[in-house]
């Protein structure tokens, strides 16, 4: 095990794995690896009603997809918070014994009523001096001392919080279970975490957690709060209304490398060239350089990155990558022949089948608009007939097929752009698609001619 700094990523398994979480994980991963430290994965599975085992598996799978997994010696875990419940309660008890915390038997309703009566909001520390002991239904609250707490944040600098505005927060619920703020700190302490890098939404928790570290007799970790990711309305990305599931992007044919690269450009810049391999970004990432403003998760730019990464794939890599999106019965050898031609036309791997499906269907799926646009011209029928005649005997390779059609179209005073259209629609069903002559070559003379004759019959 490494002796360097210990970072951690501590998601809760309450839903699909969030792209924001993915970015935070990447930050921690880069920092841990560049410093020869450790990345601890801790699953915070203490919310019994919202937890689901499949979400935990989803987190681990998604991280592995990004390249963060136990295969790497810098990775430690997964550790499960639920297994440390005894330590959380033991810490809570120590806090009570040392006078840093006290019990309170007021219900939420009673607290609200009293606050209303006194014209204040929140909890007023009313049970501080009542000397209550543990009892069923009572909560343990932290006794926030007077003064201020300064959080030294590597991204934001020093942030000062006045204790007067921090109420005595709950550490242990009435049902005896610890809350996040306590469990999180106790685990970080016992796991020897030295650096906490997380999203900005946790910044308001930080003074409370820092007080807990100190009350428990430890030096707090180095903090860093990176800005949140937002949607087009500039609201924090939410699982409910935004498309945030990393799994979903994977299933739609986004490449892990593209996703990783894009995520890293949110709130940080890898330099003049923003398309960079992970090996480079991992070493150059610095918290000092992280932006302070929320960043919009832009699907269009992600897609552009993805297209760029797809174009950089070798043909073999592309064919392999597309495989999960291709119907099992499609001939991979045929697909492979077309792969180089569709490569620059793909934004996602999931686009692949739709671009070449005509090669594998028994009959082309004729698009009505395409048909009416190209087949209603006066030259469509004679040109198709002539092309069929010429194609019956010419050599069957893309260059010759092209030359043959060019020869035919000369009789109609057409440019290639116009002349290829009826053939394209007859064979592929659409006006747009991969290069036609290459597609014809791959499809073969017999099937190409059959489709052209069928189209001719319809005219």
Partner RNA sequence: GCCCCCAUCGUCUAGUGGCCUAGGACACCACCCUUUCAAGGUGGCGGCACGGGUUCGAAUCCCGUUGGGGGUGCCA
Distance separating alpha carbons of residues 298 and 306, to the nearest angstrom: 12
Q: Based on the number of CB atoms within 10 Å of its own CB, is 394 exposed (0-12), middle (13-18) or buried (19 or more)?
A: middle
Q: Which stretch binds RNA (CB under 7 A): 29-37, 128-136, 240-248, 299-307?
A: 299-307
- Among the listed residues 139, 339, 359, 426, the single contact to RNA using CB under 7 A: 139
Segment 325-384, which members bind RNA (CB under 7 A)?
344-345
Q: CB–CB of 339/319 below 8 Å?
A: yes
From the CB of 1, what's the least distance to RNA, in Å? 25
Which phi and psi (to 5°) does residue 75 adopt?
Answer: -95, 135
Burial class (CB in 10 A: 0-12, 13-18, 19+), 102: buried
Least distance CB 127 / RNA (angstroms): 11
Q: Which stretch binds RNA (CB under 7 A): 67-75, 189-197, 213-221, 429-437?
A: 429-437
- The rounded distance, in Å, linking the Cα atoms of 212 and 245 is 33
Taking the complex as a whole, the smallest distance from the CB of residue 328 to RNA amounts, in Å, to 26
How many residues belong to the site for RNA (CB under 7 A)? 82
Residue 310 to residue 349: CA distance in whole angstroms: 8
Question: Please, which of residues 146-165 interact with RNA by CB under 7 A?
Answer: 156-157, 159-162, 165
Whole-angstrom distance, CA of residue 388 vs CA of residue 450? 9
Smallest distance from the beta carbon of 171 to RNA, in angstroms?
9
- Work out whether 438 is an interface residue with RNA (CB under 7 A): yes
Q: Pick from 251, 252, 308, 386: which binds RNA (CB under 7 A)?
A: 308
Q: Is 180 in the site for RNA (CB under 7 A)?
A: yes
Q: How far is the CB of 7 from RNA (least distance, A)?
A: 17
Footprint of RNA on 396-415 (CB under 7 A): 398, 402
Q: Is 126 in the site for RNA (CB under 7 A)?
A: no
Which uninterrupted H or E stretch holds 286?
none
Q: Residue 442 interacts with RNA (CB under 7 A)?
A: no
d(CA 448, CA 439): 9
Candidate segments 32-40, 115-123, 189-197, 319-327, binder of RNA by CB under 7 A: 115-123
Separation between Cα atoms, residue 289 and residue 268, nearest integer Å: 6
Half-sphere exposure of 213 (CA within 13 A, CB side): 24
CA distance 348 to 249: 10
Q: Which is nearer to RNA, 133 or 157 (CB)?
A: 157
| Helix 206-215 with 180-190: angle, nearest 10 deg | 50
State how far the Cα of 62 lies from the Cα of 51, in Å rounded to an integer.
17
Stretch that binds RNA, among 171-179, 319-327, 332-340, 450-458 (CB under 7 A): 171-179
Does position 222 bind RNA by CB under 7 A?
no
The pattern of x and - marking residues 52 through 91 that bind RNA according to CB under 7 A reads ----------------------------------------
DSSP H or E run through 202: none
Q: Which is nearer to RNA, 74 or 370 (CB)?
A: 370
* Active-site annotation holds for 143: no
Out of 143, 239, 301, 418, pick the active-site residue. 239
Q: Based on the shown chain and the rule CB under 7 A, indicate whether residue 434 belongs to the binding site for RNA.
A: yes
Q: State how far the Cα of 255 lies from the Cα of 273, in Å rounded to an integer.
A: 19
| Residue among 129 and 288 whose Cβ is closer to RNA | 288
- Asked if 253 touches RNA (CB under 7 A), the answer is no
Interstrand relation of 195-199 and 222-226 (parallel, antiparallel or unpaired):
parallel
Q: Which stretch binds RNA (CB under 7 A): 23-31, 66-74, 284-292, 332-340?
A: 284-292
Any idea of the CA torsion for 354, 355, 360, 363, to the nearest 10 degrees? 80
Residues assigned a catalytic role = 239
């Amino acid at each position: 095990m490494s002796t360097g700094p210990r970072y951690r990523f501590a998601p809760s398994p309450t839903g699909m794995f969030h792209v924001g979480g993915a970015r935070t994980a990447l930050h921690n991963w880069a920092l841990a690896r560049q410093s020869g430290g450790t990345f601890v994965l801790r699953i915070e599975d203490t919310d019994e009603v919202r937890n689901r085992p499949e979400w935990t598996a989803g987190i681990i799978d998604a991280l592995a997809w990004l390249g963060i997994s136990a295969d790497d010696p810098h990775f430690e875990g997964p550790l499960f918070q639920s297994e440390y419940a005894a330590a959380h309660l033991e810490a809570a008890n120590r806090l009570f014994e040392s006078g840093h915390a006290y019990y309170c038997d007021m219900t939420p309703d009673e607290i609200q009523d009293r606050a209303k009566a006194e014209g204040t909001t929140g909890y007023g520390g009313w049970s501080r001096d009542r000397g209550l002991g543990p009892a069923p239904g009572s909560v343990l609250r932290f006794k926030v001392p007077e003064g201020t707490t300064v959080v030294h944040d590597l991204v934001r600098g020093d942030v000062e919080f006045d204790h007067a505005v921090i109420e005595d927060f709950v550490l242990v619920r009435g049902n005896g279970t610890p809350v996040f703020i306590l469990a999180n700190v106790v685990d970080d302490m016992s796991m020897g975490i030295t650096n906490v890098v997380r999203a900005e939404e946790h910044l308001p928790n930080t003074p409370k957690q820092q007080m807990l570290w100190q009350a428990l007799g430890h030096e707090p970790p180095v903090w860093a709060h990176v800005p949140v990711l937002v949607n087009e309305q500039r609201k924090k990305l939410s699982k409910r209304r935004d498309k945030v599931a990393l799994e979903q992007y994977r299933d739609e044919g986004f490449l892990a490398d593209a996703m990783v690269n894009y995520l890293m450009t949110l709130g940080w810049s890898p330099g003049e060239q923003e398309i960079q391999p992970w090996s480079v970004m991992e070493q150059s990432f610095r918290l000092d350089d992280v932006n302070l403003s929320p960043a919009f998760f832009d699907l269009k730019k992600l897609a552009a990155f993805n297209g760029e990464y797809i174009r950089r794939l070798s043909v073999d890599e592309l064919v392999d990558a597309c495989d999960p999106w291709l119907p099992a019965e499609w001939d991979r050898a045929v697909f492979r022949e077309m792969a180089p031609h569709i490569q620059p036309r793909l934004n996602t791997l999931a686009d692949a089948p739709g671009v070449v499906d005509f090669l594998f269907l028994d009959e082309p799926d004729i698009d009505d608009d395409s048909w009416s646009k190209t087949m209603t011209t006066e030259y469509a029928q004679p040109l198709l007939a002539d092309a069929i005649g010429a194609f019956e005997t010419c050599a069957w390779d893309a260059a010759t097929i092209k030359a043959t059609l060019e020869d035919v179209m000369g009789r109609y005073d057409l440019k290639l752009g116009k002349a290829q259209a009826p053939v394209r629609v007859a064979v592929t069903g659409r006006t747009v698609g991969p290069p036609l002559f290459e597609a014809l070559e791959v499809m073969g003379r017999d099937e190409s001619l059959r489709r052209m004759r069928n189209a001719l019959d319809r005219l």
